Every structure is written in structure tokens, then in C-alpha cells.
Amino acid sequence: MRKNEKKRIRVFWLDGAKGLDNQFRNQPVPQHQMGDALVFQGDDYKCVLIEDTHDRGQDVAIFPESLRWH
């Protein structure tokens, strides 16, 4: 993202603090790196971080907020 030409985008995502964490990767780390890259590019984002892993119920619960976010 940092090497591409700047495009005005807005990103909203849900992530869990206890997401995938194994010998191949740690899910929350690249999510934070993506947020840093968006800020570097001057883009707007919102990451809703929950304490546990996320599931379908949390996706449904946060969906109205994601539509209202502006």
C-alpha cells in the first residue's frame, strides 16, 4: 500500500485481539500494519478491536455501525 499511488479510500474492519496466532503468522499484527499504511497514505480507517476472536454474531452486531460510519 505504501508504494502505490495515493487513492482516497475509507476502510472499516473488525478484528479480534485473539485472532489467528501460530507459527506462520499473527493476525492482529498485519491488521495494525495496514492501519499504519492507510494513515501514511492519508486515508481514513476505523478498526473495531474486540478482546476475543471475532465470529458471525459480532459481524452482525457491528454491521449497522459500519454503514453509519462517515
Asked whether the CA dihedral 32, 4, 68, 63 is positive or negative, the reply is negative
Q: Which amino acid, one-letter code, is at 33?
A: Q
Asked if pLDDT for residue 54 goes beyond 70, the answer is no
Task: Give the predicted TM-score (pTM) of the model.
Answer: 0.63
**What would the grid cell of residue 5 be?**
499511488
Report yes or no on 45 lying in a domain: yes
Please give the biggest Cα pair distance in the chain: 37
Q: For the chain, what is the mean pLDDT?
A: 78
Amino acid found at 30 = P
Does some domain include residue 21?
yes
- The answer to whether residue 64 sits within a structural domain is yes
Domain that holds residue 62: 10-68
Q: Is 1 inside a domain boundary?
A: no
Query: For residue 5, is it within any domain?
Result: no
Q: Is residue 15 a part of any domain in this protein?
A: yes
DSSP assignment letter at 57: H
The residues near 28 (Cβ < 8 Å, ≥ 6 apart) are 15, 16, 17, 19, 21, 49
The answer to whether residue 70 scores a pLDDT higher than 70 is no
Of the chain, the percentage scoring pLDDT greater than 70 comes to 80
- Looking at the domain assignment, is residue 3 inside a domain? no
The model's confidence at residue 55, banded by pLDDT at 50, 70 and 90, is low
Domain tally for the chain? 1
Residue 33 counted as domain residue? yes
More confident residue, 9 or 24: 9
